[in-house]
Amino acid sequence: MNFSIRMGIPEMYELWLRLQKASQDESISKADATLYKKWGKALKLLSTDPLYPSLHTHEIPELSRRYGRKVWQSYLENRTSRAMRMYWVYGPEQKDITIIGLEPHPEDKKNGAYDKIPLSSLGSIQ
């Protein structure tokens, strides 16, 4: 089953467009180029199979409780300092996945680390 990927509005959409534009006009920084490449690959895998092994997709119960719906985390990278993670939810339509956050992995899973993760509003995804 293939999923349509949506960017949470406005933060994720704006970030994706900024990276895309900078890549196209070759003004992208090395760090942003790396992020854009890894994020693009992860989005492709996510659209094909959200449980693809290299994504290491899993629910984050702390965020699911905060938003009142299942919030998932997938890896953009692994085994690196402050490895980037993509946060997402299913919806609004049956075959949609909406990206609601892109953040480095919290350094400490204890002491409310996921409380510090800023995610896009889910108001329009209901």
pLDDT digits (tens, 9 = 90+) for 43-78: 999 999 999 999 999 999 989 998 899 999 999 988
Number of H helices, E strands in the chain: 3, 5
| Under 8 Å between Cβ of 55 and 45 | yes
64 lies in which domain range?
Answer: 4-118
Conformational region of residue 13, where left means phi above 0, alpha means psi within -120 to 50, and beta covers everything else: alpha
Quote the percentage of the chain above a pLDDT of 70. Answer: 87
> Residue 28 maps to which CATH number?
3.30.2310.20
Helix (H, G, I), strand (E, B) or coil at 39: helix
Residue 123 domain flag: no
Residue 29 domain flag: yes
Q: CA 48 to CA 98: how far, in whole Å?
A: 14
pTM: 0.86
Number of domains the chain contains: 1
Residue 68 domain flag: yes
Q: What mean pLDDT comes out for the span 24-29?
A: 95
Residue 124 domain flag: no
